Structure 1
């Protein structure tokens, strides 16, 4: 068993093995729009582990996008420069696979403290250099809630960060450098992101994990009411043409689906049933050309297998137009992250 780290669900390989599932439509090309690599106490998931995940899944992952997670930080650097070493590390790992899997981590999204204001440009330029042509944008996590049980101590942000003037000064440096912004927040903060998107229409914003759906702590037991509120917020956000939605990340502790509490891991049919209202709403609202699927590996493995997750996405879209499906599984990610 992998120990829980920083409020993540533990990955129980023995439990996941109880419900083996073969890949549906194994020839369908997929760009995994969001995964991590890390080596944390009690939890290792580096490039070779990701390659093993892909190989064992039966799915055809043709490319991927790495998402910042404080990996490979050089503690010898000044704190504001340490995230640059993550881009350098991931680019080096990706380069190692140049002949066998050249498109893994073809896009890198790193971190820079946008509260540096205009001075963040130094960090952004260094990311671009160290990323070896793979660097695509920044994720500065802004997730915050008055219920502290929801917070991840590795990335807890102060309230109102998206409205902060100095943060926005740093944010304004992204678009001129051809960089986008990945937004990770909780669903009550979606209105703040909508305001940011309206004020910076030239900056591409990617909404991670469908906007941080909540179902634990103060939000437990309010699934239907919270869905209605989330749906309204998603529709307002989708009115901003510079925003695209990343679909996945629905196996996290905060979502409150409680898959991990079941005696058997959920298969793709069970996942599709639980996720259908959210995923269908997102696709209907943003449109397939502004949505992309993600594995959120290894985080979501606390709730279901890599194979079952992608199978659920395939089940939920099986009746769609083939061109629309292509956008969801590869086209949108290819365009947004230039992979």
Structure 2
């Protein structure tokens, strides 16, 4: 089996979720109050209302059942990567934590302080030495708040560790698939556009979490702001492309073919914008339609490679080796695949393309785009 040994000294994992639901700023309100069978029988309006008080993270395919009730920080991540070197040939050299604000939305007045608390918590983790290095931090944006809610935090970033702003703006017509935004057309908001125009001046990237049917809006944004680097998370999230998810998405072979065709078209459209990159992350996400059992929905590395291969290679072929970035999405997909299975499956898919792609996908692109200054592993 091919490995990364000789290509890179270590993997840069550009999408890791650290959180502790028991403590601020990630404290969760109690969920799981309504049984799933009852939820599935509700009409759409009641379903959307009820899902707000239920375990929406597992219910909507974001995370495995009960996952968000346990702390996940650097030590848990290192535990999960303990056997990764035997698969990849190298360890994880650096991580890029992304916003994991699972609490309800904060007010305009609370946003800067809330984000600052997130930053302090993330920066206090024991990076380096026996742990991966910190490659930088991606902070959350909010399309409703002037300055994307982070202007004060950016101004006070004395360590210079903020590398980008992440906006979760996806909305899906299926009521069982989570809406990340309350705004039906978030990218068109004058408030958002004004804030977005300043990102390039600060040298920040824009990370987008949306669904595949919305990628045309992102392509239009990329054309309007060609100087701003945009990163599409989770391969553009073609929800239901592998199987049923939500109430009816991907429920038939014809529906899945339509999802795949639209995704391919929109990703090709984005590839024509040179300021757009793709994060090869979330490849074991439940949202793709792997099944709804509590665990083991994929079945192993080779099955995952067979399923995700056509999507990954379409992205690589359209965007090229210098515009793709690896992210594990740990730990949100762990009920479907371990980190070793995720990395091993990607190696199975892309290794035939050669060491140049491997080195750029798993390390060099992230180091360049996020301006990482990592310690020399040779000392």
1:26 positional shift: 6.4
- Is residue 25 from structure 1 mapped to residue 3 from structure 2 by the alignment? yes
Bigger Cα displacement from structure 2, 135-144 vs 80-89: 80-89
2:356 alignment partner, one of 313, 319, 323:
323
> 1:24 and 1:259 mapped to 2: Cα distance?
31
> 2:217 and 2:159 mapped to 1: Cα distance?
33
Q: 1:30 to 1:230 in 2, by over 3 A?
A: same
Q: Is the 8 A contact 2:174 2:249 kept in 1?
A: no
- Is residue 83 from structure 1 mapped to residue 112 from structure 2 by the alignment? no
Q: 1:237 to 1:177 in 2, by over 3 A?
A: same
The equivalent residue for 1:277 is: 310
1:252 alignment partner, one of 277, 285, 289:
285
Q: Is the 8 A contact 1:37 1:71 kept in 2?
A: no
> 2:307 and 2:186 mapped to 1: Cα distance?
32
1:57 positional shift: 2.7
1:141 alignment partner, one of 168, 189, 193:
168
1:133 positional shift: 2.5
Matches within 5 A, 1:297-308: 297-308=330-341
Q: Secondary structure at the match of 1:197?
A: helix
Q: Secondary structure at the match of 1:288?
A: coil
Q: How many residues align?
A: 309
Q: Is the 8 A contact 1:114 1:169 kept in 2?
A: no
> 1:318 and 1:259 mapped to 2: Cα distance?
30
Q: Secondary structure at the match of 2:137?
A: strand
Q: Secondary structure at the match of 2:138?
A: strand
Q: 1:243 to 1:77 in 2, by over 3 A?
A: closer
1:77-124 per-residue CA deviation (whole Å, 9 max, x = no partner) reads 94221122212211221xx33443362x3121011324333x458x33
Matches within 5 A, 1:1-339: 25=3, 27=5, 29-40=10-21, 42-58=69-85, 59=88, 60-70=91-101, 78-81=109-112, 82-93=114-125, 96-101=126-131, 103=133, 105-117=134-146, 119-120=147-148, 123-127=150-154, 129-130=156-157, 132-151=159-178, 155-215=180-240, 216-217=245-246, 218-220=248-250, 221=252, 222-258=255-291, 260=293, 266-339=299-372
> 1:249 and 1:319 mapped to 2: Cα distance?
22
> 1:254 and 1:313 mapped to 2: Cα distance?
18
With normalisation by structure 1, the TM-score equals 0.84
Q: Is the 8 A contact 1:34 1:66 kept in 2?
A: yes
> 2:92 and 2:323 mapped to 1: Cα distance?
20
With normalisation by structure 2, the TM-score equals 0.75
Q: Is the 8 A contact 2:283 2:342 kept in 1?
A: no
The equivalent residue for 2:46 is: none
> 1:114 and 1:61 mapped to 2: Cα distance?
33
> 1:31 and 1:263 mapped to 2: Cα distance?
26
Q: 1:226 to 1:99 in 2, by over 3 A?
A: same
Bigger Cα displacement from structure 2, 253-262 vs 231-240: 253-262
> 1:244 and 1:50 mapped to 2: Cα distance?
25
Q: Is the 8 A contact 1:259 1:303 kept in 2?
A: no
Q: 1:281 to 1:260 in 2, by over 3 A?
A: farther
> 1:110 and 1:275 mapped to 2: Cα distance?
28
Task: Give the superposed CA RMSD.
Answer: 2.5
1:22-52 per-residue CA deviation (whole Å, 9 max, x = no partner) reads x962635311111110112622211110111
Q: Secondary structure at the match of 1:219?
A: coil
Q: Secondary structure at the match of 2:352?
A: coil
1:208-245 per-residue CA deviation (whole Å, 9 max, x = no partner) reads 00111111233222222211111010000111111000
